[in-house]
Amino acid sequence: MNNSSENKRAKEKDDMEKGGPMKKFGLSTLVLAVIPFILLGAFVAFLLLQDPRNVAGTKFPPVEEIIFERIVIQTESETHPHLFLVDIRNDGPDPVTIAQVLVDEAYWYFTMTPEDKVLGRLQSGTIEIPYHWTEGDAYNITLLTASGVTFSHEISVAVESPPMSVRYFSFFALIGFYVGIIPIMIGLAWYPSLRRLTVNSWNFILFLTVGLLVFLGVETVVEGLEMSGGNMVAETFHPAVLFFIMLISTFLLLQVFTERGRISSGAQSESRGGLTLAYMVALGIGLHNLGEGLAIGTAYNTGEITLGATLVIGFALHNTTEGLAIISPLARQSFNFKQLIKHLILLGVVAGAPTIVGAWLGGFAPSLLWGIIFMAIGAGAIFQVVYSITAQIFSRTEHPINLFNFTNFAGLMLGFGVMFGTALMV
């Protein structure tokens, strides 16, 4: 009796490990699974026919919610006068009709797509306002809906939105090159000196890298959440939730890849693992830099920053430390010169080039929602790299408790400090 039940339990356990005993997924199972969907459909149909609001017996006023997603400011050309192009989205449950547009408390001529000026739930539209704006001035754009509700957006500094031209394309590429690729390449030049380090000083550098990355990761989270909290992305998209979901899934996905890579490369040399880790760091930083480029481009687009030399210098110093973070896993490895140069350039491009792509995206078609998604991916990647580096340090050490010493602590703190200090310049 006792024995048989134990056997049974063992079998169940076995089944569960193998994926359960229900191996037959027949038609009947499918039908049974569909039943709740049918019931749900019927219930929804009932609700549509019998609006629960009717029970209250009163007519509820419509809930209107409009968000401003993007403002494009154009100067006069042969095809158009000075313009404000305003992208809006209905973020409320009910349709909204845009009846009038005010610029600085004055009714103003406008055209709108869709032409009927009605936006359904989550529908977006574009309002074109010919307006002879003055560079550097602030403008308030207010939309008056058919029911008299107002929605306002403040253009804090009016500057021309960069038009899609070779000039601006190269301008953003140059900015991305200056703040992304060059500083990281310079940081990579620490490689020869890193090679000469003892194990202890290498650990110091690795902890410093962890410090740098944690700062970057936290900064990315804060920026992503700030973007989510703004009024320029529809609440309906749950931007903050989306941010965390993307962050966690990026972390886990990269973790899966890292583990797979380690298993497939088997017990190959530590050097292989170091190179993989370096590329992971470069990828994480690259995604962070994509977000950074996006932010720079968008800020330029909306006239919130002028990309002066000081700002570029600030970004450059900040990002040079990222180069150090990338190569620190490689310190114990030997490559031949040709290979080394190849890898260093490739690492620099992986980490730096996304800045250019980000600047283009942000400069020409800024979308806060995409910004949030990139920030989340960046943060997830950075934290995964932090995890990988830490795991690597611990796995290499016989007595991990020995890692808790002042040298390593100082490395970590120096990492934070360097990032903090260089961030002050931005």
Partner 1 sequence: MKAFLKSNSQIVPAKPCSDGNSRRRFMRIFGSSLVLGVSGLAFSNVHADHGAASNNSIPKKLMGAVGHVKGDYPENFLRSFYNGQPVPADALRKAQSESWPKPDVFYEIHALDRDIEIAPGVTFPGWTFGLKRDGDRELPLQGNIPGPTLRCREGQEILIKFVNQGSHPHTIHFHGIHEYEFDGAMPEQFVFPGQEFWYRFKAEPYGLHLYHCHSSPLKHHIHKGLYGVFIVDPDPRWGTRTPAGKDSKGRIQEYVMMMNGFDTNFDGENEVYSVNTAAFYYTGDRAIPVRKNELVRIYLVNITEFDPINSFHVHANFFYAIRTGTRIMTWGDEAHMEKNKHQFEFTDTVMLCQGERTIIEMKFPHEGMYMFHAHQSEFAELGWMAFFMVEA
Beta strands across the sheet bearing 111-113: 66-74, 83-90, 124-130, 111-113
Tokens standing for residue 18: 């193998």
| Among 97, 123, 200, 249, interactor with partner 1 by CB under 8 A | 97
Closest CA to 204 of 386, 402, 412, 395: 412
The structure tokens 């929804």 sit at 44
Task: Please tell me whether residue 288 binds partner 1 under the rule CB under 8 A.
Answer: no
Closest CA to 207 of 420, 404, 398, 382: 404
Q: How far is the CB of 325 from partner 1 (least distance, A)?
A: 20
Tokens standing for residue 262: 């380690």
Q: How far, in Å, are 68, 84, 180, 387 from residue 359 at the CA level?
A: 21, 22, 10, 29
- In the complex with partner 1, which residue's Cβ is closer, 23 or 132? 132
Task: Please tell me whether residue 426 binds partner 1 under the rule CB under 8 A.
Answer: yes
Task: Please tell me whether residue 402 binds partner 1 under the rule CB under 8 A.
Answer: no
Q: How far is the CB of 296 from partner 1 (least distance, A)?
A: 6
Tell me if 296 sits within 8 A of 307, measured CB to CB: yes
Q: How far is the CB of 342 from partner 1 (least distance, A)?
A: 33
Q: How far is the CB of 334 from partner 1 (least distance, A)?
A: 40
* Stretch of 5-13, 21-29, 127-135, 396-404 lying at the interface with partner 1 (CB under 8 A): 127-135
- In the complex with partner 1, which residue's Cβ is closer, 177 or 409? 177
374 CB neighbour count, 10 Å cutoff: 29
Binding mask 51-90 for partner 1 (x = CB under 8 A): ----------------xx-------x-x-xxx--------
Sites for partner 1 among residues 307-336 (CB under 8 A): 311
Tokens standing for residue 266: 């088997």
| Among 231, 236, 276, 390, interactor with partner 1 by CB under 8 A | 231
Task: Please tell me whether residue 150 binds partner 1 under the rule CB under 8 A.
Answer: yes
| Among 49, 106, 166, 263, interactor with partner 1 by CB under 8 A | 106
Task: Please tell me whether residue 156 binds partner 1 under the rule CB under 8 A.
Answer: yes
- In the complex with partner 1, which residue's Cβ is closer, 103 or 418? 103
Task: Please tell me whether residue 420 binds partner 1 under the rule CB under 8 A.
Answer: no
Task: Please tell me whether residue 140 binds partner 1 under the rule CB under 8 A.
Answer: yes
Element (H, E) at 112: strand 111-113
Q: For residue 114, say if its preceding peptide bond is cis, omega within 30 degrees of 0.
A: yes
| Among 96, 227, 234, 347, interactor with partner 1 by CB under 8 A | 227
What three-state secondary structure class fits 123? Answer: coil
Q: What share of the chain is helix, strand, coil (3-state, %, to 5)?
A: 60, 10, 25
| d(C-alpha 319, C-alpha 53), whole Å | 56
Task: Please tell me whether residue 235 binds partner 1 under the rule CB under 8 A.
Answer: no
| d(C-alpha 82, C-alpha 73), whole Å | 8
Tell me if 380 sits within 8 A of 258, measured CB to CB: no
Provide the residue type at 43 as one letter. F
| d(C-alpha 371, C-alpha 70), whole Å | 13
Closest CA to 160 of 71, 80, 64: 71
Q: How far is the CB of 74 from partner 1 (least distance, A)?
A: 12
Closest CA to 90 of 53, 58, 127, 61: 127
| Among 74, 209, 302, 321, interactor with partner 1 by CB under 8 A | 302
| Among 72, 232, 277, 361, interactor with partner 1 by CB under 8 A | 232
Tell me if 355 sits within 8 A of 293, measured CB to CB: yes
* Stretch of 125-133, 343-351, 383-391, 392-400 lying at the interface with partner 1 (CB under 8 A): 125-133
| Among 152, 306, 339, 402, interactor with partner 1 by CB under 8 A | 152
Q: How far is the CB of 372 from partner 1 (least distance, A)?
A: 10
Report the interface residues with partner 1, using CB under 8 A.
Answer: 67-68, 76, 78, 80-82, 97, 99-102, 104-111, 117, 130-132, 134, 137-138, 140, 142, 144-154, 156, 223, 226-227, 229-232, 292, 295-296, 298-299, 302, 304-305, 311, 368, 426
